Amino acid sequence: MKQRPVDPAELQSAKEWVRQIFPIGQRLQLWLPHDDPLVKAYDKVRQQLVAVSSTTGQASDEQIDTFEKDRTAFLDLARAKLLEPILASEGAE
């Protein structure tokens, strides 16, 4: 597994993003069931982000590539969900 040095500024940025992204997961879980593909994709990408940001100076290219792949999948699902028509609740006029 090839290791590459982590830029301290990038590591700090990743740690800040972890703190900021947590509320997104809570909001998703308020609106969507826990087994929704978007919630599952969020959980997966968050786990990858935590793994990369918790490295002590080095992250593997494989870790970073996995995070990027999972992040792209999450964003694609989120974009599709946002573009879905909003269904009116029953009884709404």
Q: Where are the alpha helices (DSSP H) in 1-93?
A: 8-31, 37-53, 61-83
Please state, in angstroms and as integers, the Cα–Cα distance from residue 7 to each residue in 13, 58, 69, following that order: 10, 9, 21
What does the domain layout of the chain look like in residue ranges? 33-80
Share of the chain above pLDDT 90, in %: 22
Q: Is the dihedral of CA 49, 55, 57, 62 positive or negative?
A: negative
Instruction: Write down the pTM of the prediction.
Output: 0.67
> In the prediction, which pLDDT does 84 show?
85
pLDDT in tens, 10-47: 667 667 766 777 788 888 888 899 999 999 999 998 88
